[in-house]
Amino acid sequence: MKTGWLTEREKIQKITTAFFAFSPLVLATLIFLALLLKAHPLLSLKSLPGLIFSSVWQPSRGHFGLWPFILGTMWVTLTAFILAVPVSILTSLYLSEYAPGRWKKLFQPVLDLLAGLPSVIYGMWGVLIIVPIVGKYLAPLFGHQSSGFSILAASLVLAVMILPTIISVSVEVLNSVPLALKEAALSLGATRFEVITRVVLKKAVPGIIAACMLGLARAFGETIAVLMVVGNVPSIPHSLFSPAYPLPALLANNYGEMMSIAGYESALNLAALLLLLIVLSFGILARWYLPRIKRRLG
Amino acid sequence: MKNAQPKIDALHLKRRQRKESFFKLLMAASAFVVLGCLGLILVTILWKSLPALKLSMITRMPGSGYYLGKEGGILNAIVGSLQLILGATFLALFVALPAVVFLHSYLQKKSFLAETIRFSLDVLWGIPSIVYGAFGFLIMITFKMRASLLAGILTVAMVELPILSRAMDETIKLVPEELKEATYSLGANRWQTTTRVILRQVFPGLVTAVLMAMGRGLGDAASVLFTAGYTDKITTSLFQPVATLPLAIFFQLNSPFPEVQQRAFASAAILTLLILIISLISRSLSRRLSRHKIL
C-alpha cells in the first residue's frame, strides 16, 4: 500500500519510530565492536587458532588457552540437550495427542512457572539435590570418583531448565496441525500412534526443530546455574563425571577483577566475543536451515 | 500405504496396538518426570527455607553481623530488585514499543529491512546475559561510572529488550490483515491504524509480554553481577549500588555459616513467590483485558 505522500506529522512519526527500530541492530553491532576492540590487544600478540585450541590456562604466566572452556561449554550444552530433547518431545506429544483436557489445564501453569524460575534457584536445587545424587550414587555406579560437581550435574540441571521452553513451543506447534488431517488418517484405520508418526510429526517437524533450537540457545548461555554445580576446573574434561569450566562461568567468576594481569582482560573479552559469535552462527543457521526443511516437507 | 493388499489379520493389529500402548506409556512417563521435577524443585525450596522463613526476612535490612548469622532480613534486596526491574522494564518498553510500531506500520512484512531487524532481535535474544553484563561493565568503565542502580538498569534493559520486542512482535502478527484493511478503508493512516486499532486489539498480549520480560529481569543474576554492585542499605539514588535478590541468594549460599545458608533458601522462596505473583497477575490481567476483543 503506497500513499504517495505523507503529512509533516506522519513523517515525524515515521522517523522517530524508525530511530528506535534500528536500536537492536545498533546494539548488536556495538556489543560486537566493543568486545572486538577489547580483545584486540591479545589477538595482535597471538594467533586466534593458537588461543582457541591451546589448553594451557595460566593467566599469571601469560598463557590464555581457551580450549578447556570451549570444550566445557560444548559438553555441558550438548549433554543437556540430548537429555532434554526426547523427554520434551514425548511430553509434548502426550500433552497434545493423549492427555485429557484437565491434565492440559494443569500442565500449562506448571510449565509457565518452571520457565519463569530464575537460574539461581535451579542452581540452588542442583547443589542441594543433583550434586549429591551424582557424587554419591551415579558416579560410583559407573565406577568413577566424583565430588558430584561435574558436567553431568550441570547438564541435568540445564536439561530441567530448558524442558519447559521446548515443551511449550512444541505443544503450540503440535496443536496447530489441522484436526482434519488426523481424522482422515484415523478413518483409514491408523492407530493414534501411527497418526502421530506419519501425519502429525511430518507436519510439525520444522516447528519442533525450532523449539529445540530455542532450548539449545537457552542452555548454551546459561551462567549462574551451571557455575554453581559444574566445579569450575580449567582442564580438559575426560568424562561426564569430571568437572568443567564453561565460558560463561569463566566470565562470571573473573570479569570484574581482571585489571592487574596483562592480557587477562583481553582474553576474557575474547571469551565473550566467542559466545557472541556462536550465537550469531546459530541465528544464521536457523534462518537459513528452517525454511529449507519447511519447503522440503511441503 | 505401499502394500496393495493391506494385511489386516489379528496378529498384525495386535502388534500395532502393543506398539501404541508402549509409546503411550513412555509419553505419559515423560510427562510425569517433568511434573515430578517441578514438584521436587518447589518442595526442596519450601522444605529448606521453612526454618529461616520469618517475617523479619522481608521487613528488615541486614543488621551488623548479618552475614555471620545474626539478626536481619533482605528488605534491601527486595526493594533493590523492584527498583531495578521497574526501571529496566520501563526503559526496554520505551525502546521496544516504537520499534515494534515501526516494524508493523511502515515496513512490508517480508522486506529486507524488517527481516534484518528481526534477525538482530533474534541474535540479541540469544546472547547470554553474562555477555550483556560484560558489555555493561565496559560501558561503565568507559564513562568512569561505578557499579550502580543506573548501570544495572541499563544492562537489564538490554537483556529485556529482545524478549519484550519479540513477544510484542509475535502478538501483533496475529492480528488479521482484514482489520487493518477495514481501518485503512475508513481513511485512517498507518500510524492511526497501528496505535488506535491494532495496539488496542493486542493490549492484553502486550501486558503479558511486559510482565514476562519483568519476570526474566527479576531473576537474572549474570547481568547485574558486575554492573549493579551490592549494598546492605536501601538505594536512594541512581548512582548508588543496589542489592538484588538473585545475588543475595547467590552470596548467602556461598557462606560457610549454616544460618546464612538457610537464609539463602528463604530468599529463594521469596523470589519464587514474587515470580509466581507476576505470572498470576499476568494470567488474570490477560483474561480480564481480553473481554473487549473484537476478533
Put simply, whether A215 touches B (Cβ < 8 Å) is: no
**Residue range B92-100: mean pLDDT, rounded:** 93
Does the structure show a pLDDT above 90 at A275?
yes
- Here the CATH number for the domain that contains residue B257 is 1.10.3720.10
Among the partner-chain residues A91, A191, A252, the one whose CB lies closest to the CB of B30 is A91
Number of structural domains, chain A?
1
Residue A10 lies in a domain: no
Neighbouring residues of A172: CB distance < 8 A, sequence distance ≥ 6: A207
Out of A35-44, A73-82, A286-295, B110-119, give the one with best mean pLDDT: A73-82
With CA atoms as reference, the chain A residue closest to B48 would be A128
What's the domain range around A246? 51-297
Q: Burial-class residue A9 by CB neighbours within 10 Å (0-12, 13-18, 19+).
A: exposed
Confidence of residue A5 (pLDDT cuts 50, 70, 90): low
What percentage of chain A exceeds 90 in pLDDT?
A: 36
**Residue range B235-242: mean pLDDT, rounded:** 85
For residue A225, give the amino acid letter.
Answer: A
Residue A36 lies in a domain: no
What's the domain range around B83? 75-292
Put simply, whether A41 touches B (Cβ < 8 Å) is: no
Could you give the count of Cα atoms lying within 13 Å of B202 in the half-sphere of its Cβ?
Answer: 25
- Better-scored residue on pLDDT, B92 or B13: B92
Residue B11 lies in a domain: no
For residue A208, give the amino acid letter.
Answer: I
At which residue does the C-alpha cell 524478549 appear? B163
Question: How does pLDDT run across B192-227, given as a tens digit for each residue?
Answer: 888 888 888 888 888 889 998 999 999 898 898 888
Does the structure show a pLDDT above 50 at A2?
no
Pair B218, B78: CB distance under 8 Å: no
Substitution target from B21, B37, B184 for chain A, most A beta carbons within 10 A: B37
Residue B120 lies in a domain: yes
- Cα A202 versus chain centre, distance: 25
Give the model's pLDDT for residue A138. 87
Give the model's pLDDT for residue A259. 64
The DSSP secondary structure of B165-202, one letter per residue, reads HHHHHHHHHTS-HHHHHHHHHTT--HHHIIIIIIHHHT
Confidence of residue B164 (pLDDT cuts 50, 70, 90): very high
> B126 to chain A: which residues are within 8 Å by CB?
217, 220-221, 279, 282-283
Number of structural domains, chain B?
1
Residue B279 lies in a domain: yes
Put simply, whether A45 touches B (Cβ < 8 Å) is: no
**Residue range A154-165: mean pLDDT, rounded:** 94
The DSSP secondary structure of chain B, one letter per residue, reads ---SS----HHHHHHHHHHHHHHHHHHHHHHHHHHHHHHHHHHHHHHHHGGG--THHHH----TTGGGT-S---HHHHHHHHHHHHHHHHHHHHHHHHHHHHHHHTS-TT-HHHHHHHHHHHHHHHS-HHHHHHHHHHHHHHTTPPS-HHHHHHHHHHHHHHHHHHHHHHHHHTS-HHHHHHHHHTT--HHHIIIIIIHHHTHHHHHHHHHHHHHHHHH--TTTTTTT---SS---STTS----HHHHHHHHHT-S-HHHHHHHHHHHHHHHHHHHHHHHHHHHHHHHHGGG---
Put simply, whether B233 touches A (Cβ < 8 Å) is: no
Give the model's pLDDT for residue A94. 92
Put simply, whether B47 touches A (Cβ < 8 Å) is: no
Q: Which of A24-33, B10-19, B84-93 has the lowest mean pLDDT?
A: B10-19
- CA gap B247, B249 in Å, rounded: 5
**B123, A93: Cβ pair inside 8 Å?**
no
Mean of pLDDT over chain B:
86
**A10, B189: Cβ pair inside 8 Å?**
yes
> B17 to chain A: which residues are within 8 Å by CB?
191
Residue B47 lies in a domain: no
Residue B63 lies in a domain: no
Residue B217 lies in a domain: yes
Give the model's pLDDT for residue A235. 84
Does the structure show a pLDDT above 90 at A191?
no
| Per-residue DSSP letter, A259 | T
Question: How does pLDDT run across A102-121, given as a tens digit for each residue?
Answer: 888 888 888 888 888 999 99
Give the model's pLDDT for residue A1. 45
Does the structure show a pLDDT above 80 at A280?
yes
Q: Burial-class residue B82 by CB neighbours within 10 Å (0-12, 13-18, 19+).
A: middle
Give the model's pLDDT for residue B292. 60
Give the model's pLDDT for residue B19. 86
How big is the A-B interface in CB pairs under 8 Å? Answer: 252
- CA gap A185, A202 in Å, rounded: 13
Residue A45 lies in a domain: no
ipTM: 0.89
- Here the CATH number for the domain that contains residue A215 is 1.10.3720.10
